[in-house]
Structure formats: C-alpha cells, structure tokens
C-alpha cells in the first residue's frame, strides 16, 4: 500500500540538464515537502507546499523550483543540474494540525555527472 510515490529510485543526469523529480501521494494530504539528504548534513528542506499552486521556500531553495498543479502531485525541478546537486531527494506529505507525522517516499538518488 504505497502512499507516497517518487517516480525514480535512481537517476543519472548531465551537468546543465533540466531535471524533474515527481512525487505523488494518495492520502489527500494538504502539505507536501521536498528534502535533500546528504551525509553529515541530515535532512534539509528545499521547498514545501501547503495547497495547490502554493509554495514556500525551505532552507536551501537555491537552484531548485517546484510545481504543484494538483493536490496529489508535487514536482521538484532542477533548472540546470550541477554536480553539487548530487544527493538523495526525499518527498513527504502530511496533514497539518493532526501531528500524525510525515509519510515519506522511498527517495530518489540523483547523480549529476
């Protein structure tokens, strides 16, 4: 019963390419999030969205953009991929105020060469 699905487990892209990471949730959650996870740095919030077509910058938004055209889908876009964007990317969703915790996808390991 997969609830948050990330489109790719592994991805290899070239420097300068435009990269799309897709995330879909089937729990009707209002909030969706994109994190990157790097050794020694933990999880860092890139962007989040609390409603369709709404987005907020997280702690490290530079070099990224997002799109939320439908409630269930939250896309992370690397406009021009760079090697320092090689990382594990994690999508999550939640319902605010319930405190039920986040539901995470399985992650996408992106390598930029």
Interface mask toward another protein for 1-30; x: CB under 8 A: ---x-x------------------------
Whether 50 contacts 30, CB under 8 Å = yes
Residue 53 DSSP one-character state: T
Residues 58-87 that bind another protein (CB under 8 A): 59
* Cβ proximity to another protein, 54 vs 113, nearer residue: 54
* Among positions 42, 62, 69, 83, the unique one binding another protein when judged by CB under 8 A: 42
DSSP classification of residue 61: -
Q: Is the CB of residue 105 less than 8 Å from the CB of residue 90?
A: yes
């Amino acid at each position: 019963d997969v609830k948050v699905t990330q489109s790719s487990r592994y991805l290899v892209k070239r420097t300068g390419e435009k990269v799309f990471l897709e995330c879909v949730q089937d729990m009707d959650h209002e909030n969706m999030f994109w994190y990157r996870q790097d050794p020694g740095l933990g999880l860092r919030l890139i962007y989040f969205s609390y409603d369709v077509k709404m987005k907020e910058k997280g702690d490290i938004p530079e070099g990224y953009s997002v799109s939320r055209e439908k409630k269930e889908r939250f896309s992370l876009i690397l406009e021009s991929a760079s090697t320092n964007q090689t990382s594990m990317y994690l999508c999550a969703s939640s319902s605010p105020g319930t405190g039920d915790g986040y539901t995470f996808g399985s992650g996408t390991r992106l390598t930029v060469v």
